[in-house]
Amino acid sequence: MKHPLQKWKTFSLCLLLTAAPLSVSAQNLDDVLSGFDSEPAEQQKQAIDEVDDVLSGFDESAPDETEKSVPDNELIPHWLELGGGVTLASSVNFAHEAPEEGAADFRGLSMLRTSLNLDSKISLGNWQLKIDGHGFYDASYALQDRDQYSAALLDDYEQELELDNLYLRGSLSANLDVKIGRQVVVWGKSDNIRVTDVLNPLDNRIPGMVDIKNRRLPVAMTKLDYYIGDWNVSTMMLHEPRFDKNPVYNSDFFPGQGPLPPEKSPTVSFDNQQYALALNGIFSGWDLSLYSASIFDARAHIEKDINGSLSRQHNRFFMAGLTSNIALGNWLLKGEAAWFDKLEYSNLPDQDFSRFDLMGGIEYTGFSETLLSLEIVNRHLFDFDTRLQESPDLAQEDVLQTMATLVRDFANDTIQLKVILSIFGGHGEDGMFERVQLDYDLSDSMMVSGGAVFYQSADQGPLSEIGDNDRLFLELSYEF
C-alpha cells in the first residue's frame, strides 16, 4: 500500500503529464517536478518511516490466503512451454457438374474441418524435448451423405489423429549438436519446388491449397551437426520409411478409374535404414550446400510377384546435389541441381534409370512490402524408353515446372495478399493451378484467411482429372 506522500507525488505527476505538451524532454520534466523533492532528505525519510509503521498491518495477508495465492507465471513450470491452436477450415467446390449415377458428388461443400494442434517444449538443462501432434474431424462428409464415399477416402479425409514432431536435441560439445526423433529437415533453396528437398514426405491430398512448408511430414531420424568456422556438416540416419500422403481412389483429385494395387512399404529394420549427408557454408552475400542421400523413393512403382499379384513398391535410390543463394541488393538468385540414380519404373521392371533436375530462381524485394519470385525446374530422364509413357508410369523424358509468386503486405503487416501460379509443362499441358489468398490478423492470436483455387487438367498423368475442382475456401484460426 502506498503512503500518503507517495500518493500525492503520483497524483501530481499524472496531472502534470496530462497538461504538459507531448514534446517535453526528459530533462525539462525533471526540472518541472524538482519542487516536489525539495523536502530535506532526512525529514522526508523520517516521515515516510512513521507512515509505514502506522500502515504496516494493512499489508499483511492472512496465512491461508498467502498459501493459496499462486502467481500466474508459476502455474506452468519455467522449464515447460505449452501452446497450440484451433482451426476451422471450410471450402466449397463451384465448378463440378452432376456426377454419373453411383459416383461420389463433390459439388458444394467439400470441407468443414475442425483441427486441434498441441505442442510442448521441455527444457532439460542444455537439452530440449519437443512434442507436438494434431487431430481433425471433417464434418462435410456426414453433411453430404458419407455413404457415397469409399472407405479409403473416409479413412484418409474424414478424421485424423497423429503424433508429429517428437525429438530430443542438445549439444554434445561446443561444436557438436545432436537431434534424435521425429523431425523435419529442409534441404535446398527453393520455396515452392522440390529438387534436393527429399528427406521428408509431403501431404498431397489436396494439391494447391497449402504451401509446401506446411505440407512436410516429420520422419524419425538421428541428426548430428558439426560446426567449424563458416561450415556445418550434418549427418543423418533415417529410421522410419515414410511416404507421401496422396489422393486416394474415389477422391476428387484421384486420376484413375479404379483403386491402385496395395502398397508394400519397407519395414523399420536395420537393413532399411536410410542415410544422408549435408555440407553447408554461409558466407557474406552467398551460401553453398552439398547433399547426398541413400533413401527410399517416395514415388512407388508397381511390381508383379511370382503369383501374378500386383503391389506398389518403393525402391532405394541415390541422390547427389548442390544448391546456392546469391544476394545482390534487392535481388536474390537461387539455384539447385540434383542427380538421381537407381530409379525404377513399372513398365521396365528390370532396368534402372537416372535423372537430372536443374532449378533456377529469382526473388525481388525492391517494391515496398512486396515479394516477387519465379522458379523454374526441368527434370530430365536419361535413356528414356517410350514404353515409360504408357500407364501406369505415364513418364516423360523432360518435365518442366514453373512457379510464380506475389506476396504483398498491407496495414502494418496485418493483411497479406498471396498469389501463386503453378504451371506444369511449357504452357500448362501437364496441368496447372492458381491460388489467390488473403490473410488478415484479427489479433496477435487470431487470423482469418480466404481465397480461391483454380485448376486446369493435364492431358495425362496425375493432374488429368483436376479441372472441375475449383473452390473457394475460408479459414479461421486461433493460437494459444
- Across the range 178-190, mean pLDDT stands at 97
Q: Helices (H), strands (E): how many in the chain?
A: 6, 21
pLDDT of residue 451: 98
In angstroms, the CA 302 to CA 393 distance is 9
How, if at all, do strands 159-171 and 301-304 pair? unpaired
Q: Inform me whether the pLDDT recorded for 3 exceeds 70.
A: no
pLDDT of residue 461: 83
- Residue 61: pLDDT band by 50, 70, 90 thresholds? very low
Per the structure block, which three cell numbers stand in for 28? 525539462
Q: CA angle, corner 463, sides to 334 and 186, nearest 5?
A: 35
Q: Output 33 or 382, whichever has higher pLDDT.
A: 382
Q: What burial letters (b/e) apply to 78-87, b meaning 16+ CB within 10 Å?
A: eeeeeeebeb
- Across the range 364-384, mean pLDDT stands at 98
pLDDT of residue 75: 82
pLDDT tens-digit readout, 198-236:
999 999 999 999 999 999 999 999 999 999 999 999 999
pLDDT of residue 19: 39
The mean of the pLDDT values for the chain is: 87
Least confident of 43-47, 108-112, 226-230, 328-332: 43-47
pLDDT of residue 65: 45
- Across the range 19-40, mean pLDDT stands at 38
Q: What are phi and psi of 363, to 5 degrees?
A: -125, 145
In angstroms, the CA 402 to CA 423 distance is 5
Least confident of 69-83, 301-315, 410-424, 444-458: 69-83
pLDDT tens-digit readout, 233-269:
999 999 999 999 999 988 999 987 788 999 999 999 9
In the block, which residue shows the cell 518541472? Answer: 32
pLDDT tens-digit readout, 84-143:
999 999 999 999 999 888 888 999 999 999 999 999 999 999 999 999 999 999 999 999
pLDDT of residue 308: 85
Q: Output 59 or 256, whichever has higher pLDDT.
A: 256
pLDDT tens-digit readout, 279-292:
999 999 999 999 99
In angstroms, the CA 314 to CA 442 distance is 45
Residues of the chain above pLDDT 90, percent:
77
What are the distances in angstroms from CA 127 to CA 122, 169, 178, 183, 362? 8, 6, 10, 16, 38
Q: Inform me whether the pLDDT recorded for 431 exceeds 70.
A: yes
Residues of the chain above pLDDT 70, percent:
85
Q: Inform me whether the pLDDT recorded for 424 exceeds 60.
A: yes
Q: Evaluate whether 181 touches 133 at the Cβ level (below 8 Å).
A: no
Which pTM value belongs to this model? 0.82
In angstroms, the CA 124 to CA 164 distance is 21
- Across the range 24-32, mean pLDDT stands at 38
Per the structure block, which three cell numbers stand in for 355? 535423372
Q: Inform me whether the pLDDT recorded for 66 exceeds 80.
A: no
Q: Output 52 or 167, whichever has higher pLDDT.
A: 167
In angstroms, the CA 436 to CA 142 distance is 28
